Amino acid sequence: MSKILMCPPTYFGIEYVINPWMDMANQVDKNTVSKQWNNLKDTLEEAGAEIELIEPQPSLPDMVFTANAGLLRDNVFIPSRFKFSERQREMRYWIEWFQNAGYEVREIQTDLPFEGAGDALSGKVLFGGYGFRSSKESYKEIEEILSSEIIPLHLVDDRFYHLDTCFSPLNEESAILYEGAFDDESVQLLKEHISYFSVPEEEAARFACNAVVINKNVILPTDCPETEKHLQSIGFTTFAVDMSEFLKSGGAAKCLTLKLF
């Protein structure tokens, strides 16, 4: 069974602007936020996941996006180094949670930004997105910690500021992604390392690739019919969940989860 870390959206809201989706004039509806988050949690459990929770903290609205806490491989947790000060105050809570849960916490020594499982995703190899939130150079130290090669992927469309907004490995061999989010060299690297389906731009903009994969189940945002059709054609069961309130902050299903195993 997969185990996933989530954070209740008690303090979630648009309190600042750090990506193109955020707009102080486009605030979230708290009741809808709660319904959508609970529906996602219920759907993940229905798909076979066990959910762990971290306690939300006042004045940390983006703590709900647990994917950005850090990178987890086996029992090693590498905390993020957030680019923006608005999120840097989260780190003490993530580190404390993983220490208390018995993980080996290995902080990177560089001051360069690295934003965890938002930008570092596993297929057969580890892919590392850079360009907006994580630095390409930060992956050198992470490669040493994990004794694992990281394939760097350059993100060039600021709507897709984290790798997990435009790329979702389905297993070690295949993925869904949006080619337009990457430069030409990165597209070539992807072709060399994984088989993929490139989702239509309009579905990419609905965060079709910000999906959670649990065995043969894929949980993704609503209104992504071509992506769902492809996934079903290759043997996956799809669960479409309304993520409209979280999309106002530039996040969806994957952003709201961190797979523990």
- Kindly list the catalytic residues: 162, 255
Q: Which of 161, 256, 245, 179 is nearest to 212 (CA)?
A: 256
**Could you tell me if 81 and 56 are in contact, meaning their C-beta atoms sit under 8 angstroms apart?**
no
* Bridge partner list, 213: 218
End-to-end CA distance of the chain: 8
Could you please report the per-residue DSSP string of 146-205? Answer: HT--EEEEEB--TTS-SGGGTEEE-SSSEEEE-GGGB-HHHHHHHHHH-EEEEPPHHHHT
Q: Which of 260, 203, 248, 184 is nearest to 17 (CA)?
A: 248
